[in-house]
Amino acid sequence: TQLLEQSPQFLSIQEGENLTVYCNSSSVFSSLQWYRQEPGEGPVLLVTVVTGGEVKKLKRLTFQFGDARKDSSLHITAAQPGDTGLYLCAGAAGGSYIPTFGRGTSLIVHP
Amino acid sequence: GAGVSQSPSNKVTEKGKDVELRCDPISGHTALYWYRQSLGQGLEFLIYFQGNSAPDKSGLPSDRFSAERTGGSVSTLTIQRTQQEDSAVYLCASSLAGPPNSPLHFGNGTRLTVT
């Protein structure tokens, strides 16, 4: 059983469309991180959310942490081909302090 | 260099051989992690170092896997008697402080293929 469930697993859209990906758990997290990974590279940190209900914006990306700190979402407005990649959420919970990763959402944005 | 460096970037080995993977973390980062990424499986935690000590090695899948860190810097992950199921991308990450909230900086990984 995955501590962090991400959905959808795959997403293929056209340039200019909006999308939302989700990261859900039954556990409470002190913080959650979102990473983006491109082929042949390691994950790169996009944002850390800490406070329940927090919303953070990074250009066209909007990250939200659930009020109960059990879930998070990433919304991309007007997706660009450069947004293509694997989006991973990560956090530590359930008595462990080691960051656990979800399986990721693989996004392809077609020009 | 400015980032986490891993070597080799690719390694092809025969089943039963030993392999050694190297990670150079960002200078000054006290925490170092090894993860394994297989297709469709996400990132699987292997081991965590704080300085030269490994407070958590609970993710090592078998006693064929070992890791060490020397001088609070370079780490090596050794896999003995490799098996085909060991094929994966092995990712190293470092962070300025320990878990859980200090963000991880990843290297580009070593792609291991066991034939």
Q: Is the pLDDT of residue A77 over 60?
A: yes
From CA A18, how far away is CA A22, in angstroms rounded? 14
Tell me the mean pLDDT in the region A85-91: 95
Of A2, A31, A40, the CB nearest to B101: A31
User: Does B100 contact A90 at a Cβ distance shorter than 8 Å?
Assistant: no
Of the given ranges (A13-17, A58-62, B19-23, B42-46), which has the lowest mean pLDDT? B42-46
User: B113 Cβ partners below 8 Å, 6+ apart?
Assistant: B10, B11, B12, B13, B87
User: Does A90 contact B41 at a Cβ distance shorter than 8 Å?
Assistant: no
User: Does B100 contact A103 at a Cβ distance shorter than 8 Å?
Assistant: no
